Amino acid sequence: MTASKSSRARAARAQRAQGARTGNAPAARADRNGTAVKAGTAVKAGTAVKADPAVKAGTAVKADPAVKADSEVKAGSTPRTMTARGVGDRSGSRRPAGERELAAEAPVTGTVPLWLQLVTFALSLAGLGVSIYLTIAHFTESALLGCSESGLVNCTKVTTSPQSYVFGIPVAVLGLVFYLFMAAIMSPWAWRWARREVYLIRLAATVAGIGFVLYLLYAELFLIGSICLYCTSVHAITFALFGLTVFAAAAWGIPKGQHG
């Protein structure tokens, strides 16, 4: 009886030793939470371990399909924290590929809204129309419609004064050329042409227009002593274009120069 028990005990110990070498030890071990886990079963970090999972010895446990692990946890290895690809760790976050593509395609400057494009274009066309009419009236020497010829408002006195010429060129012609250019550069097509040179030329043109308007106002008020309603309307349009252009540059920026 004793010899039989002793032989069975030796056989059991040999079986356990062989199972330990092959990774199939039948004995169960408890994790920190007290849950029974079979030896050789891979444990995924951060997930609850079910009791007695059927896992074949020596096979790798696949990670959650929603998160790809950096490395597979093989059966019998010590569990470790797995970092998902594309997910930032404490050392620095990494944005997903979709966000990186959007950031790369983002424009350098914001697009000026359509309402501002249309308003500046309409103002330029209005200034061009008044300039055409003043040019025709100048060369035909006809009176301007609806404009008084006496008192402070005296269009004829203004348009026939020596100050109506600059360097021998009629002011009406200069206004016509200026607004032909402004109608082109203030068009929606020119606004959408996001080149730094176009934005700078637009700003420079409006600044030059304001400087010329200030001179004409000085001449009307202090040298001629009268004002012209048509000229005043062109001055007001120039001020409006200057304000809108500066506002667009401040609110939506100026494109950077293209290199290479």
Q: Is 134 helix (H, G, I), strand (E, B) or coil?
A: helix
Distance CA 180, CA 62 (A): 71
Tell me which H or E stretch contains 201.
Answer: helix 196-218
CA-nearest of 221, 93, 238 to 152 is 221
Query: E strands within the chain?
Result: 28-30, 36-38, 60-61, 73-74, 165-166, 169-170
Indicate if the pLDDT at residue 42 is higher than 70.
Answer: no
Q: Which of 81-95, 157-171, 213-227, 246-260 has the lowest mean pLDDT?
A: 81-95
Domains and CATH numbers, the chain: 116-252 (1.20.1440.130)
Return the closest-CA partner of residue 85 out of 62, 65, 68, 73: 68
Return the higher-pLDDT residue of 96 and 248: 248
Q: Which two tokens stand for residue 122?
A: 């309409």
The answer to whether the beta carbons of residues 130 and 159 sit under 8 Å apart is no
Winning range, highest mean pLDDT, from 109-118, 144-153, 235-244: 235-244
125 burial (CB, 10 Å; 0-12 / 13-18 / 19+) is middle
Region 78-99: mean pLDDT is 43
C-beta of residue 190 within 8 angstroms of C-beta of residue 184: yes
Threshold 0.75, pTM exceeds: no
- Per-residue pLDDT at 154 exceeds 50: yes
* Residue carrying the six token digits 């990670």: 63
Predicted pLDDT at 219: 96
Query: Is residue 132 scored above 60 in pLDDT?
Result: yes
User: What's the rounded mean pLDDT across residues 141-166?
Assistant: 88
Mean pLDDT of the region 117-126: 98
The answer on pLDDT for 94 being more than 90 is: no
Residue pLDDT, tens place only, 162-216: 999 999 999 999 999 999 999 999 999 999 988 899 999 999 999 999 999 999 9
Percent of the chain with pLDDT over 70: 58
Rounded CA gap, 77 and 40, in Å? 8
CA–CA distance, 181 with 127 (Å, rounded to integer): 11
pLDDT score at 51: 39
Per-residue pLDDT band for 138 (boundaries 50, 70, 90) equals very high
CA-closest candidate to residue 107, choices 192, 35, 167: 192
DSSP 209-230: HHHHHHHHHHIIIIII--B-HH
Neighbouring residues of 49: CB distance < 8 A, sequence distance ≥ 6: 31, 33, 35, 37, 43
Candidate from 6-10, 142-146, 201-205, 232-236 with smallest mean pLDDT: 6-10
- pLDDT above 70: residue 142: yes
DSSP at 149: B
Most confident segment among 39-48, 50-59, 115-124: 115-124
